[in-house]
Chains A and B, each alone.
Chain A
Amino acid sequence: DTGVSQDPRHKITKRGQNVTFRCDPISEHNRLYWYRQTLGQGPEFLTYFQNEAQLEKSRLLSDRFSAERPKGSFSTLEIQRTEQGDSAMYLCASSRPGTDNSPLHFGNGTRLTVT
């Protein structure tokens, strides 16, 4: 169990630029989640995948955001035309499916700063 890996750890970009983040979940986990965390707040759900299927998207995920998980393994989150309000920590998490409340394992996040 190598944990959930996110890359990059930090990203500074100028307003209007596009950015892409990558998440590698724990290998046997087929559910993958993206959350956003702003300073001093709890994480907020953005979207989740079961295998390669994106099953739910939050209303927080505007049209400028897109997430993919093409082969049911790693996932990418792209933000187009970044705005200063996009500055946040983007967290990826993974879990196994099941009725036993398989715990959510979080990565250490990608901190985005939009200048």
Chain B
Amino acid sequence: QQQVKQSPQSLIVQKGGISIINCAYENTAFDYFPWYQQFPGKGPALLIAIRPDVSEKKEGRFTISFNKSAKQFSLHIMDSQPGDSATYFCAASKPSNTGKLIFGQGTTLQVKP
């Protein structure tokens, strides 16, 4: 059972543009929603995370928008840069163990200069 669905699978954006990646989850017991960034040959690194008591969280150029009723959340990368080219994963976990993450399938982002 795929509990976290991510789209699109790949994304190409021009430098300076906005990158948007979407995720949908099924289990209403999830209460922690992080986004991870992964470069080739490296492990995933936490970008930003949100809990369902807020609808939006912003850190620098990265913003999470959260819609609890729709069970959806998205990552927005403003002013996208070539250095942002990487694979992005959304994830979710339950309160009992926030380290036991259910990941989406990933989105490969390419930012063209």
Residue numbers of A with Cβ under 8 A of B are 4, 31, 33, 40-45, 48, 56, 91, 93, 95, 101-109
22 A–B contact pairs at CB < 8 A?
Answer: A33-B99, A33-B100, A42-B6, A42-B105, A43-B101, A45-B100, A45-B102, A48-B97, A48-B99, A48-B100, A56-B100, A93-B99, A95-B98, A101-B32, A101-B49, A102-B99, A103-B46, A108-B41, A108-B42, A108-B43, A109-B42, A109-B43
Flag if B106 contacts A95 (CB, 8 Å).
no
Residue numbers of B with Cβ under 8 A of A are 4, 6, 32, 34, 36, 41-46, 49, 51, 89, 91, 97-106
CA distance A2 to B46 in the complex (A): 16
Flag if A104 contacts B101 (CB, 8 Å).
yes
Flag if A104 contacts B106 (CB, 8 Å).
no
Flag if A102 contacts B43 (CB, 8 Å).
no
Flag if A91 contacts B43 (CB, 8 Å).
yes
Are A106 and B43 also in contact (CB < 8 A) when A41-B106, A43-B103 are?
yes
Nearest CB in chain A to that of B51: its residue = A101
Chain B residues, CB < 8 A from A107: 43
Nearest CB in chain B to that of A58: its residue = B100
Chain B residues, CB < 8 A from A48: 97, 99-100
Question: In the complex, how many angstroms separate the beta carbon of A84 from the nearest chain B beta carbon?
Answer: 22
Flag if B106 contacts A4 (CB, 8 Å).
no
Chain A residues, CB < 8 A from B4: 42
CA distance A38 to B100 in the complex (A): 17
Counting chain B CB atoms within 10 Å of each CB, the highest count among A91, A102, A103, A104 belongs to: A104
Nearest CB in chain B to that of A111: its residue = B41
Nearest CB in chain B to that of A100: its residue = B98
Nearest CB in chain B to that of A47: its residue = B100
Nearest CB in chain B to that of A32: its residue = B99
Are A4 and B43 also in contact (CB < 8 A) when A41-B105, A42-B104, A42-B105 are?
yes
